[in-house]
Amino acid sequence: MQQTDDFFTSFSYEREIERAEWFKNDLDKGGWNEVHNSPGAVYWQKTFPDNEVPIKVLLKIDLPLSAESFMEVVDPKNMEVRKKWDRAFGDHEIVKTYPDNQGFIVYLSSSTPWPLWDRSFMLFSPPTKEIDWFDKRAYILVQKNAWHSSKPPGADGRVRATNGGNFYVITPDEEDSNSACTLFSLSNNNYNGWLPKRHIERLVSKSVVSSFSCFFECVVKGYNKYYNS
């Protein structure tokens, strides 16, 4: 089957919103293993054996930024600024821009400790959309697994990870929407390449907590340094 990079033609916000709501409801039902809990940050992990990308990590993060500020900082249109503040992910590049504000295909890399190989990601990033999130105003930011002929898997010397469809639901703080928001997010990747056969769930959840803790710290510092001056 020939791969194409016209991801926006099959993209549906409605499906993505329903999917995010399903994960929120499933978390509320229980059965998720809490893997990290610190002030303003909780992470849960659950494995779905029959899923193409089986290990899911949900996270709830409180940020000292408005929802609009968070979206501005991580918007692919501001990729050149992101290169200055992001220590969690590197080699940021927009490899395709769709016309009429239909989104981007972006390339990112992530360093992993020996004996694992470094990973790279190709992601389709459509525009953020305002939504109703359980009777609250919120925004959804989606990342879908992507492919582009300019960067075939392995050509960069890294293992190409498979993204199972990540999302952020960004909810403004009810009491202080100008300077605080909460993120409900799914991290959902197959890291591919060589991985230990035992304790893989623990390895993935530990990696996600470490990477995202660094990322959100960088988001706040990057906003304060490059946007809030």
What Cα–Cα distance (Å) separates residue 229 from each residue in 97, 102, 221?
Answer: 29, 30, 12
> Which among 56, 59, 53 has a CA at the least distance from the CA of 36?
59
Rounded distance between C-alpha atoms, residue 154 and residue 118, angstroms: 11
Q: Are 175 and 136 in contact (CB under 8 A)?
A: no
pLDDT at 200: 87
Query: How buried is 75 (Cβ within 10 angstroms: 0-12 exposed, 13-18 middle, 19+ buried)?
Result: middle
Q: Are 124 and 145 in contact (CB under 8 A)?
A: yes
Question: One digit per residue, pLDDT tens: the chain, 229 residues?
Answer: 345 556 666 789 999 999 999 999 999 999 999 999 999 999 999 999 999 999 999 999 999 999 999 999 999 999 999 999 999 999 999 999 999 889 999 999 998 876 678 999 999 999 999 999 999 999 999 999 999 999 999 999 999 999 999 999 999 999 999 999 999 999 999 989 877 778 889 988 998 999 999 999 999 999 999 998 7
**Other beta carbons less than 10 A from residue 30's beta carbon:** 6
- For the chain, the domains span 7-226
Fold of 7-226: Alpha-D-Glucose-1,6-Bisphosphate; Chain A, domain 4 (3.30.530)
Tell me how many degrees the CA angle 37-43-49 measures, rounded to the nearest 5: 140
Rounded distance between C-alpha atoms, residue 131 and residue 170, angstroms: 10
Give the helix ranges, DSSP H, for the chain: 13-29, 67-74, 79-85, 200-226
pLDDT at 229: 73
| pTM for this model (two decimals) | 0.93
Q: Are 112 and 207 in contact (CB under 8 A)?
A: yes
